[in-house]
Amino acid sequence: SSISFASALVIRSIDVADEMVPGETSRITITLRNDGNDDIEDVSVSLDLSDVPFAPFDSSSEYSIDEIREDKTKDAFFSIIALNNAQSGIYKIPLKITYIDLGDDKLKTKSSLISIIVNSKPTIDVNIEDSLLLKNQDNDLSIKITNKGLSDAKFLEIEVGNSRYITILSQNRLYLGDIDSDDFDSIDIKVFINKNAPDKTTLPVTVIYRDDLNNEYIEDFVIQLNTYTKNKAVELGLLEKNNTIAYIISGVIFVVLIIVYTRLRKRAREKSS
C-alpha cells in the first residue's frame, strides 16, 4: 500500500524479507513516486539503525537520488545484516526522507517506519544421559533435551512412545516449560526392557514447543539405546558382580567350623579330665 506524505512524495512500496535470522543479510527496496506537479531534487533516504540490532552490509544507511521527475518513480536500495545477538521480535526502523520540491524550492523532511521481524527457530536435540539399561527388568531412563539455537524454546512438552521391546511404566508425556538458548533440561522415566530385546534398540520421542513469536513446532526424534543382560554388563565392567550368595555360604561354613571346633575341643577336655 502507498504511504502518502500529503505532498509530492509518496512511498509506493517497501520490499523487505518477511523474517530475518541473526547473522543473515536482507535487501530493502523502497519505491518512491513523485505525485506532485513539479520535479523534486536532492532526495536523501536514510535508515536510523542506532537503536535496533541491525547494521549496514556492503552499503550505507543513506541512499541518494538526484531527482525524481513529475509522475515518475525511483528506488532506494539498502542492504542490512541482523546482528548475531539479535533477539527474536518485531523491530521498527525509523525512516527519514529529505528532498527539495522545485515548486517552492524548499527543503522538506518526512519520517516513517519500517518493521522487520527477527526470528530464529530454536534448535532442539534429544539424547539419553548415562544409563545402564538391563534386559528383563525395570530401568530408570534419563532423557536430556538441549536447546542449541539462538532463541528460547517456550512451553516445551515431551512425549515418549512405546517401542516393540520397551514399555513405558511411568507417565510418558511431561511438561518442561521454557528452555533458554544454550541450555538444557532432562526428564526421568521408568521403562521395562523385554528379555528378547536386541543389544541396540530405539525409542521414539516427540517434542512440542513454541518460539518467541509463538510459532508452534512438533519434532520427532528416535534415540538409540544400548541394552544388556546382567551377565554381559558384569563382563563389561558396567555392573558389579553380586557376591551376596557367596558371602552367605562363606558365613554359614564359618559358623559350622566354629561349632565343630568348639565341640571337638570340649570332647578333648572331657577325655583329658
Per-residue pLDDT tens digits for 56-108:
998 899 999 999 999 999 999 999 999 988 888 899 999 999 999 888 888 99
Task: Check residue 249 and give its pLDDT.
Answer: 67
First-to-final CA distance of the chain = 125
Q: How far is C-alpha 152 from the chain's CA centre?
A: 6
Task: Check residue 254 and give its pLDDT.
Answer: 66
Q: Alpha helices of the chain — where are they, by DSSP H?
A: 230-235, 244-272
Task: Check residue 5 and give its pLDDT.
Answer: 41
Task: Check residue 59 and give its pLDDT.
Answer: 83
For every residue of the chain, DSSP letters joined together read --EE-SSSEEEEEEE--S-B-TT-EEEEEEEEEE-SSS-EEEEEEEE--TTSSEEE-SS-SEEEEEEE-TT-EEEEEEEEEE-TTPPSEEEEEEEEEEEEETTTTEEEEEEEEEEEEE-----EEEEE-S--EETTEEEEEEEEEEE-SSS-EEEEEEEEPP-SSEEE-S-SEEEEEEE-TTEEEEEEEEEEE-TT--SEEEEEEEEEEE-TT--EEEEEEEEEEEEE-HHHHHHTTSS----HHHHHHHHHHHHHHHHHHHHHHHHHHHHH-
- Matching residue, cell 539498502: 78
Q: Return averaged pLDDT per consecutive 10 residues of the chain, 273 residues in all.
A: 55 89 93 91 95 92 94 94 90 94 88 91 90 90 93 94 90 94 93 92 95 93 91 77 57 71 72 69
Task: Check residue 250 and give its pLDDT.
Answer: 61
Q: How many CA atoms lie within 13 A of 124 on its CB side?
A: 28
- Among 22, 219, 225, residue whose Cα is nearest residue 123: 219
Task: Check residue 7 and give its pLDDT.
Answer: 56
pTM of the model: 0.69
Distance CA 214, CA 152 (A): 11
